[in-house]
Amino acid sequence: MIRRLVLAAVAVLGLQAAYADGPEGTPISELQEPGGKPVGNGGSGNDYAGLGERDGLAGAYDDPGRLTTLNSGGNLASVRIKDIAVLQEARDNQLVGYGLVIGLNGSGDSLRNSPFTEQSIRAMLENLGVASEDGRARVRNVAAVIVTANLPAFVQAGARIDVNVSSLGDASSLAGGTLVMTPLKAADGEIYAVAQGSMLVGGFNAQGAAESVTQGTPTAGRVPNGAIVEREVKARFVDENVLTLQLLNPDFSTAVRIADAINGYARQRFGKRVAGEQDSRAVIVRKPEGISTARFYAELENLLVKSDAPARVVVDERTGTIVIGNEVKVSRVAISHGTLTVRITEQPRVVQPEPFSRGQTAVEDFTVIEAERPGSKVGLLNGPDLQTLVAGLNRLGVKPDGIIAILQGIKSAGALQADLVVQ
């Protein structure tokens, strides 16, 4: 009897199919859709399909053919996950406050044009126990400012952060000033930090009776480590079981590669898949048991993936800057580019009257207009890759502003196989 039971157990174990684990270690064969249909395709190599609705890990699978196609790009750069994605649970918070900068060398606000500065001075003196007179103040060494800062994630009370200070009134310079104690509030109206300290200004302003020189922006500066965190943002990162990775540059291919890289590592490290792409911007990762959230993400953020991005051309017409992505291609087009030069010359003539006549000498207007288009020629441009495209643009012999006009024309003609971004 015992021998028969042992043989039956061996037979059952031998016939059991080896299925992949789900996000929580559940065999795929035991998962069912709401209608009772088993999840997956019966062990055909894509047993993870259909888990998106159940666990929020849409698209987490291990299809070797699909992975080979996604990773076949030869021009893609291998980067770490931490360099192309950030944790949604590790976001910063913005802080803002209103304060005064004192100790300026006569470059502060004029109280006539900035009445709020005078009100702030009186309120500050009253809080310090100094009774202010009813007359108007005549100081020129005080400036009203707006103080901004970013409160990093997981920062604790007592930590110091940098603050940026910008003039609010008509002060000409904040150089040499000191920021007086300024509360910094978040969007919820609560005070999270207090800023105070000496200003660091990169620009300067020199002015005389007939001329002035300004370099940089003397009305804005910063106070390094000038704010002390008084209240921390409550975060339960240690208790998070599901992490959301947000891509800095949204792309479906990159999101899938991140999920595949995490799953490949998790299969060897934890014996199951833990990640799935949600869309072009987010990847959902479920933390396994037996490891802290911080240690788990520390193991994932250094994994290498191939980053991809859409083909894009960025031009800045103000500075003439042109940035062309590596995947930008141009269909074969003919281009004619030449600068139209119009020259207008005024040559007034003096007209004399006939001899012994009663006429008078007069000036007659005479204008000469010349129009020419030097260097105008038709050229062929065919850019199957970045090097050929740049060489073709250089052969045209045009300046950056002309190249910008050419790229806009190629885009309008439908021959530029990329997104053209004009700044």
40-76: per-residue pLDDT in tens? 333 333 333 333 333 444 444 444 434 444 544 556 7
Which of 157-161, 308-312, 339-343 has the highest mean predicted lDDT (pLDDT)? 157-161
The model's confidence at residue 383, banded by pLDDT at 50, 70 and 90, is low
pLDDT at position 326: 79
d(CA 175, CA 25): 62
Q: Who wins on pLDDT, 31 or 265?
A: 265
pLDDT of 217 higher than 90: no
CB atoms within 10 A of CB 226: 24
User: By the 8 A CB rule, do 50 and 41 touch?
Assistant: no
Coil/strand/helix, residue 192: strand
pLDDT at position 100: 94
Task: Summarize the confidence of residues 185-194 as an average pLDDT.
Answer: 93
Task: Summarize the confidence of residues 5-32 as an average pLDDT.
Answer: 42
d(CA 97, CA 194): 9
Task: Summarize the confidence of residues 91-120 as an average pLDDT.
Answer: 88
Spacing of C-alpha 111 from chain mean position: 39
Query: Which H/E stretch holds residue 407?
Result: helix 400-412
What's the predicted TM-score (pTM) here? 0.63
pLDDT of 38 higher than 60: no
Tell me the two tokens of residue 115. 């009445």
Which of 64-73, 75-84, 366-375 has the highest mean predicted lDDT (pLDDT)? 75-84
pLDDT at position 58: 41
Query: Which H/E stretch holds residue 372?
Result: strand 367-372
pLDDT of 344 higher than 90: no
Coil/strand/helix, residue 422: strand
pLDDT at position 32: 39
pLDDT at position 13: 45
The model's confidence at residue 333, banded by pLDDT at 50, 70 and 90, is confident
d(CA 9, CA 316): 73
Amino acid code (one letter) for 194: V
